[in-house]
Amino acid sequence: MTLTRDEAKARMQAHGQSYKVEAVDLIPADEPITFYRHGDWEDLCEGPHIDRFDREFAFKLLTVAGAYWRGDEKRPMLQRIYGTAFWTKEDLAAHLVWLEEVKARDHRKLGTDLDLFSTHEEAGAGFVFWHPNLGLVRREIEAFWWQEHLARGYEPVYTPHVVREKLFQVSGHLQNYADLMYSPMSIDEILYRIKPMNCPGHILIYRSRGRSYRELPLRWAELGTVYRYERSGVLHGMLRVRGFTQDDSHIFCTPEQLADEIAGVIELITHTLRTFGFQYTAYLATRPEKAIGAPEVWERALEALKAAAEKSKLPLVLDEGGGAFYGPKIDFKVRDALGREWQNSTVQCDFNLPERFDLSFTDKDGEHKRPIMVHRAVLGSFERFVGGLIEHFGGRFPLWIAPEQIALIPIREQHADYVRELAGILRAEQFRVGCMDEPSHMNKKIQTAEKARTPYMLIAGDREVAERTVAVRRRGSREQTVVPFEKFHALVRELRASRSLELPAPTA
C-alpha cells in the first residue's frame, strides 16, 4: 500500500517505531512511501516481497553486530541482524561455503596473520600503518606504476598536503565536497585545509607561467596522499579509510588532443588491470545533482568520453548521475577471485576547473585558448587497491610482488653454508630471500614458510650441496623437484621480469 508522509509517520508513531518515523522523512518527496502487509504483520518497506510465504525456501541467520543509527557514532547503537535466504538448500549451502572463503580472504585477518598492516585507536580510526611486509609489496607496485607512466610521457610532480582554504573555494570543493573535507585550521589568521584531492595543486603548477600549444599535452603524475572524512560506521580496514595515497595524474590538452589522450588513459588502465589478473567493467558516469558547469559543457565532455571509448573498443555501462561534481567520467570496476566488484580506476573529462582557474595556453596564432583537463587514477587509491589485492590473491601474492619471494632451508646445520651462498647470489639481484639457517627442525622451517605464503622454498641436503642443485617446493604443493640452482635462478628471473601471475614448477 502507498501512504502519504503524514499517514506513514502516524502509523510508525502508533507502533512506537521512532527510528522509522525518521526514516520516513529520509524518503525523497518525489518517491512513493510504501508499506507491505503479510497477514497481521505490516511494515515500512520499499519492496517488492516474495509472492507467497508457503513456498519452500532455505534461510540462515548469520550474525549479530552493533551498528550506529545511520552510521553516525553520535547516535544510538542498534543491533543489526544479518541473514540470507535461497530457494534451495543446495544454493544456501554453496553460498555458506562462499562466505567461509570470504572470511578466509578478509584482508583485515590476513593483515594480522601475515604482518602486513595495522590500524591504531591512538592514531585515530581510518588511518593505515603499512608494515615492512606490505611496504615491500607497495614498493614493487609503485616501481611498476612509475615505469609504465614514464614510458607514456608522464612527468612527476609533488604538491603540499595543506593549502589555503581559498584554493578550494575557487575549485568548488567547498561548495560541493565540504562534507568530506576536514575542518579548517588557522595559521597566521589565514584558514588552511588539508587536501582532499590533488587536482588544485596541479592546476597551480600549470598556472605558474605562460603555456604554449607546443607544450601540450602535459601529463603530470603524483602519488599524492589525501584526506577525506568518512563516518566511523563505514570505515573498513584498507578498503574504506580517511587518509590514502591516490595515484593521481592530470593531463592538460587541446580539444583536438582530447580523444587521443583519453584513449591513452584507457589503454594504460586496461594494461595495468590485466597485469594484476583482474577482469573489469567500464561505467559511463553522468552529471550528479550537485555539479558545477553548464549542461552544454557537460554534454561536450560526455561526448568526448564516448568517442574515446569507441576508439578504444571499450564497451560502457551507463551510470546515471554517478559523475564527479566537475565532470563526467568512466569508472572501471574490477571483479576479484570471489566474483565481487570493486571500484577502481577512473578517467574524468573536465571543462570546468580550467574555466574556474582561468587557465590558458597560446595557440599558433598567438591567441589565448582554454585547455581541457583530464583527471585520472589507474589504481584509485593504494590502500583500497592493495586491500583488494590481498583478498583477490588470498595473501598468496605472485612472485614479483611477494614480500618474501624465496625461502632457503638447509636440512641440517652442515648445509647452512651452501644455503647462505645461494641466498647471497639471489640477494645480489635484489630477490627478497629468507635464509632460514637458524638451528631448528627443517619441518618447522617449512611450516613457517608455508604460513608466510612464500612462493618458493629451496631445500638443500647432502645431495644438493654435492651436485649444486636445490629441491624446489612451490607454495601450496608438497611435491619437490630437484634441479640445478642455475635452472631455478633463470626461472625466477623470467617470472619477475614478466610480472607473471603463475607459479610454475621448474622442469627437472
Cell match 614458510: residue?
449
H-only helix segments in 33-172? 89-105, 107-113, 132-151, 165-171
Q: What crossing angle do the helices spanning 485-497 and 416-428 adopt, rounded to 10°?
A: 30
- Collapsing DSSP states into helix, strand and coil, what is residue 102? helix
Q: Out of 228, 287, 415, 496, pick the active-site residue.
A: 228
Closest listed residue to residue 354, CA positions, set 326, 376, 328, 331: 326
Cell match 508513531: residue?
13
Give the span between the Cα atoms of 496 and 507, in whole angstroms. Answer: 18
Per the annotation, the verdict on 246 as an active-site residue is yes
Give the span between the Cα atoms of 503 and 475, in whole angstroms. Answer: 8
Which segments of 243-325 are extended strands (E)?
A: 243-253, 279-285, 316-319
CB 98 within 8 A of CB 338: yes
CB 11 within 8 A of CB 36: no
CB 293 within 8 A of CB 352: yes
Give the span between the Cα atoms of 71 and 240, in whole angstroms. Answer: 14
- Collapsing DSSP states into helix, strand and coil, what is residue 55? coil
> Grid coordinates in use for 227?
584526506
Q: What crossing angle do the helices spanning 258-275 and 132-151 adopt, rounded to 10°?
A: 140
Q: Which amino acid, one-letter code, is at 196?
A: P
- Collapsing DSSP states into helix, strand and coil, what is residue 442? helix
Per the annotation, the verdict on 248 as an active-site residue is yes
Give the span between the Cα atoms of 266 and 254, in whole angstroms. Answer: 18
Q: Out of 11, 173, 242, 329, pick the active-site residue.
A: 329
Per the annotation, the verdict on 329 as an active-site residue is yes
Per the annotation, the verdict on 120 as an active-site residue is no
Q: Out of 9, 105, 199, 473, pick the active-site residue.
A: 199
Give the span between the Cα atoms of 145 and 337, in whole angstroms. Answer: 22
Give the span between the Cα atoms of 296 and 507, in whole angstroms. Answer: 62
Give the span between the Cα atoms of 265 and 285, in whole angstroms. Answer: 16
| Stretch (H or E) spanning 66 | strand 58-68
Per the annotation, the verdict on 250 as an active-site residue is yes
Q: Out of 11, 193, 246, 415, pick the active-site residue.
A: 246
> ω before 48 within 30° of 0 (cis)?
yes
Virtual CA dihedral for 388, 391, 395, 401, nearest 10 degrees?
-30
Q: Out of 11, 173, 195, 250, pick the active-site residue.
A: 250
Strands 155-156 and 218-227: parallel
Q: Out of 375, 376, 453, 496, pick the active-site residue.
A: 375
Per the annotation, the verdict on 435 as an active-site residue is no
Give the span between the Cα atoms of 216 and 231, in whole angstroms. Answer: 41
| Stretch (H or E) spanning 58 | strand 58-68
Active site residues per annotation: 199, 228, 246, 248, 250, 329, 375
